[in-house]
Structure 1
Amino acid sequence: MTMISREARCGVVALALLTTTLTACGGGGEASPWSTKTATTGSLDQLVTAAKAEGTLTVFTPIVQSEVEEWTAAFGKKYGIKVAIQRQSSSTLGTTFSTQVRAHKVEADVFQTSNRGQVQEFVDNGWFANYTPQTAAQYPADTTIPGHAYPLYETIGNIAWNTKTVPPEVQAKLEADPYEGMLDPALKGKIVLIDPGHGGSGMAYYANLVANHADKYGWPYLEKLAAQEPAINTSISTMAQQVSAGTYSVTIFGDDAVFGPLAAGGAPLRFSSISPMNSSLFYQEIPSDAPHPATARLFSEWSQSLEGQQAMSVATGGRSTMKGWQENRPFVAKLPWYRVPDEIWLDWQTDPRFAGDQLKSFVEKWNTTFHVAS
């Protein structure tokens, strides 16, 4: 299995002259000099000039809107380009994008998601341009889809709880062993879970339990968790708000990039994990029919550069996997109790047990276990 080191690797990456090639991936129509449908090469200065002439970037993303706005503001300020954000859940965003592709009305200049399977499907369909940012080699090779998708950031799983609504003795259990702690009778009816049927990082939590902790936290454990009468949700943002407000006391979906900034900002939250613990990567791609292809390419260069990654981790709370990035997430400095697990598991994204028909069977079994209609 792939375990990503908890230590940031050292190195320096500079964005100098850009020489990139984009290969045809789509249909006809008059092409821009920087179109994703034609093979072109040019310098960074030429790309900046073309992007400024386009003047607009539209980002499709499942990431919290305010975080993406803060992050992309640095890009907009540097190049004088207006950035528009369309934020939806990963599954909804994929449906919106695929509908637009088929109707030849693509609005996205860049597409972001944590659903690697969906990315691969869209690559196979020819919906993403063949593009390699200059810093591609600075990312772990097994976390990319070469020529198409590169990591934006990593989030690490946790169990999160409200420190005001969870009794101190139960909090102690959650600190020591969060999954076992969730079975405490005091939490019955007060847990909110993510529906794995929507894919993406929510699926990772259950995959980790079944694949890496089957003896203790496999399907028999999930049956016990179902007996706790949890609520089921599909929105990460909604669950974070519900636990912060005390509507529910505990959630299985406690990604550090989501709950860390909330806790650092004063929300009554704490979170803990086991090892190995699932992590998720958010990816970024350029649609073959991006309406502003030069701007999309410039944003990819900037966002995958060390400058862009540093701005990203401050704004989103995500952890960069790029060589040379050093821990700078504000919430980490404000939460001295926060710990990154010794082992981080990312292989669920490519594990055949959680893809295709096997994934469908897995979700059906989960639905049966938690009494959720398919």
Structure 2
Amino acid sequence: MRLRTVLVGSVAVSSLLLAGCGSAGDGADVANLPNSAAAAGGLDALVQKAKEEGELSLYAATTEKSTTAWAKHFEQKYGIPVKLYRDGSTTLFQKWAQEVGGGVDNADIVIQNVYQLWQDAKTKGWITGYKSANYDGYDFEKVLPGTGLAGVVYPLHQSIGAVAWNTKVTTPAQQELLRKDPVAALTDPSFKGQIALGDTGGATTGGNYANVILHQADRYGWKWLEGVAANDPALFESQIPIAEQLVKGEYALTFGTDTLYNDYIAKGAPIEYKYPDPTNAALWMIGLPTRTPHPYAARLFLEWATSDEGHDLMATLGSGLGTRTGWADERAIARQPWYADPVIWYGMAAAPELQGKGFADFVSKVNATLGK
């Protein structure tokens, strides 16, 4: 195992899930805030109150380029400036949790993709339910089963777990293995020293492992991970540098997320990927903090983000699969001759082995098996 950067996400997840500090306060200032546009007097009244507040603070773990472009559309539509703070899901959540725990309310909207952290925030009273006008446009039972998060967070777009490889670095024989069973191929000895893997504590990578090791234990399980470890994978804190190096041919393959590669492929990069069957989905979820500096601007942003317009724009900019009912996949990547629609497993959040401290224990065992 070659450690390229320190894996910190699992530590952050563990400490946050076990932390007991912080609360939503006594609620006196938030008790009368509307839980829908109708309760605010209608959308026009909500827009007016939001404009009076004058700005919005957005904490987002989605990529900076796509999120900035997305928020710009909101600014242009409503004339309300958006201040973006961007970081990875666990570190962003850690910053927000520390602020809330210290009585500082800087975030109007939070976007991140770790189910367990959202459930932790709900338990502590840090996020509040809100029924947007497009509430019925989301199949919460399908995409957030057993989480208790319906209407507390809304899914935007999905990053899907995929095994990606460089077609110029891999041999025809290796590519045949990958197309036949991309998960099993990761254990093939011919890939020794050619694999790069991301931070296990992240929602995508952690979910990928949970799907293969726990959900498909009869096919792969922990013995599969031992086979991957035998191939001496390089471990990275983030999947972003993995994507860059895979495109350059520094590594042959990775088990990561599809959205990191779609733009590269559109520009002609020699990358192909295949989804496990089934595969894990990491949902980018948007939530409304209980206490915010601009409560009406926050509610207006949530209305816009969960509308067909806002949702579809984020899915397009993020190159991921949409989550609202009726969304049509018109992405260029879906027209690639090798592309096949994924069969998605949404069970990570409700998996009994990952409840409470279970997720942190699972991550620790994955890391230990990989030799971290």
Task: Report TM bin, short chain.
Answer: 0.7 to 0.9
Instruction: Give the Cα–Cα distance (whole angstroms) in 2 for the partners of residues 233 and 301 of structure 1.
Output: 36
Deviation per residue, 1:93-116 (Å, 9 max, x gap)? 111000111122222211011111
2:83 maps to 1:79: no
* Count of matched residue positions in the alignment of Structure 1 and Structure 2: 342
Counterpart position of 2:153: 149
Counterpart position of 1:356: 356
Distance 1:231 1:87, change over 3 A: same
Counterpart position of 2:306: 304
Distance 1:355 1:120, change over 3 A: same
- In the TM superposition, what is the alpha-carbon distance from 1:324 to its structure 2 partner? 2.5
Instruction: Give the Cα–Cα distance (whole angstroms) in 2 for the partners of residues 173 and 234 of structure 1.
Output: 27
SS of corresponding position for 1:75: helix
Distance 1:137 1:238, change over 3 A: same
Q: Which amino acid aligns with 2:282?
A: S
Kept in 2, the 8 Å contact 1:35–1:293? The answer is no
Query: Where do 1:196-235 residues align within 5 Å?
Result: 196=200, 198-235=201-238
Deviation per residue, 1:106-156 (Å, 9 max, x gap)? 222110111111101101111112322121122113235134111112222
- In the TM superposition, what is the alpha-carbon distance from 1:173 to its structure 2 partner? 1.7
Kept in 1, the 8 Å contact 2:187–2:228? The answer is yes
Q: Which amino acid aligns with 1:160?
A: A
**Counterpart selection for 2:242 from 228, 239, 250:** 239
Comparing 25-34 with 123-132, greater Cα deviation is found at 25-34
SS of corresponding position for 1:348: coil
Kept in 1, the 8 Å contact 2:30–2:290? The answer is no
2:271 maps to 1:272: no
SS of corresponding position for 1:59: strand
Deviation per residue, 1:227-266 (Å, 9 max, x gap)? 100011221222222222223221111x222222221222
The normalised TM-score by structure 2 is 0.85
- In the TM superposition, what is the alpha-carbon distance from 1:368 to its structure 2 partner? 2.3
Query: Where do 1:334-353 residues align within 5 Å?
Result: 335-341=336-342, 343-353=343-353
Deviation per residue, 1:196-218 (Å, 9 max, x gap)? 2x242211111111233323311
Deviation per residue, 1:48-73 (Å, 9 max, x gap)? 11222223222212211101112222
SS of corresponding position for 1:215: coil
Kept in 2, the 8 Å contact 1:134–1:301? The answer is yes
Instruction: Give the Cα–Cα distance (whole angstroms) in 2 for the partners of residues 106 and 191 of structure 1.
Output: 42
Counterpart position of 1:131: 130
The normalised TM-score by structure 1 is 0.85
- In the TM superposition, what is the alpha-carbon distance from 1:289 to its structure 2 partner? 1.9
Kept in 1, the 8 Å contact 2:193–2:233? The answer is yes
Counterpart position of 1:320: 322
2:369 maps to 1:369: yes
- In the TM superposition, what is the alpha-carbon distance from 1:316 to its structure 2 partner? 0.6
Instruction: Give the Cα–Cα distance (whole angstroms) in 2 for the partners of residues 273 and 208 of structure 1.
Output: 12
